[in-house]
Structure 1
Amino acid sequence: MRNNKLLILDLDGVLITNPSWKADRIHSDGYSEFNESCVENLNRLLTLAEFDIWLSSTRRTVKTLNEFNLIFKNRGIKKDIVGFLPEYADCRNRKEEILKFIKEFKASDFLIIDDDKSLNGLESGIKKSLILTELTKGLNSEKLKEAIEKI
């Protein structure tokens, strides 16, 4: 394990900010558009610390790592994804997945960016590393500022 910070990253409500009642706008590569200012904010964050990006989005189950890295590249994200959070059969929600991942990987230096409300239930030691975004706002400048304060 390298000494990089882990960035546990969701897509919907972080980089994809379409309201759930609207169909995603589709990029020329056939995948959902990302919110450009959210991508800029992510790139800004990625310049401030060495991160390994781990995708927690449920979308991780329908594409390969290579496909996602191409999608990230097509949208101007300047860093590849290192891996996906494992799919744990016994986890009922994102909170359980993230807790299990952190425990399994013995992660101590991490940042979680996600809009999943189940994460409000994280214990305070882990919750202090959470940036909880809103579905239609994503990683906006306010959330970027919060992330910078946490790193």
Structure 2
Amino acid sequence: MMLLLLDIDGVMVPANSWRRPEILADGFVEFSPQAVKALNKILQHHDFEIVLSTSHKFKYSLNQWLAIFNARNINLSSINRLPDNISLSNRKNEILNWFTSHHGNEDFIILDDDKSLNDLPPHLKDRLVQTSGSVGLTDYLADKVLTLAEKSHGELA
């Protein structure tokens, strides 16, 4: 199974200073309909395990995260997250540390808007699909994720 390191702000929730995102009954912000549709497209076409890389990842338990995604019409059977960022590293270092501790042998794609990820080493940056923070995840980027996943799958076969 391939891992999808998923950020929330700027990916599932576009960051528009002029519009406050709606807070749903579970206390978390609503995902953009476009991002929900795009993520569902990714999940329907490829077997991914979602690994949250968002700064919110420890705000809720994993079961609460499942409920949050399910309430937003993204049906996941499991979800995971990066370790707590106690050293307050930037996203690039947080992901580098995680891959170093996991020996980088897992198949993955990073879906994030964080500009620090442009400085990842090439073997990790090649697996980055970067969103525009004010737009979030789009159908076009969903296709990019799927193309990367198929290419990667071919390399492993």
Which of the numbers 83, 96, 119 marks the counterpart of 1:99? 96
**Partners of 1:15 and 1:34 within 8 A in 2:** yes
Q: What residue is the counterpart of 2:8 in the other structure?
A: 11
Is 1:51 paired with 2:43? Answer: no
Q: What residue is the counterpart of 1:34 in the other structure?
A: 31
Kindly provide the CA deviation profile for residues 75-125 of structure 1, in whole angstroms up to 9, marking residues without a partner as x: 011214431100243352000111111221234310000001100001111
**Partners of 1:129 and 1:150 within 8 A in 2:** yes
Kindly provide the CA deviation profile for residues 50-92 of structure 1, in whole angstroms up to 9, marking residues without a partner as x: 1111101001132111111111000011214431100243352
Per the alignment, in what secondary structure is the counterpart of residue 11 of structure 1?
coil
Q: CA 1:81 to 1:10, structure 2 compared with 1: closer, same or farther past 3 Å?
A: farther
* Pairing of 1:101-120 with structure 2 (within 5 A): 101-107=98-104, 108-120=106-118
Q: What residue is the counterpart of 1:146 in the other structure?
A: 144
Which of the numbers 76, 92, 111 marks the counterpart of 2:73? 76
**Partners of 1:54 and 1:81 within 8 A in 2:** no
**Partners of 1:9 and 1:57 within 8 A in 2:** yes
Instruction: State which drifts further: 51-60 or 11-20.
Output: 11-20
Letter matched to residue 50 of structure 1? D
Residues paired across the two proteins, number: 148
Q: CA 1:91 to 1:28, structure 2 compared with 1: closer, same or farther past 3 Å?
A: closer
Identity %: 35
Runs of 4+ in 1 over 6 A off after TM superposition: none
**Partners of 1:53 and 1:80 within 8 A in 2:** no
Letter matched to residue 33 of structure 1? E
Structure 1: runs of 5 or more not aligned: none
Cα displacement (A) at 1:143: 1.1
Q: What residue is the counterpart of 2:129 in the other structure?
A: 131
Please report the TM-score for the alignment, with normalisation by the length of structure 2: 0.86
Q: CA 1:29 to 1:120, structure 2 compared with 1: closer, same or farther past 3 Å?
A: same
Structure 2: runs of 5 or more not aligned: 150-157
In structure 2, how many angstroms separate the alpha carbons of the residues matched to 1:97 and 1:21? 30
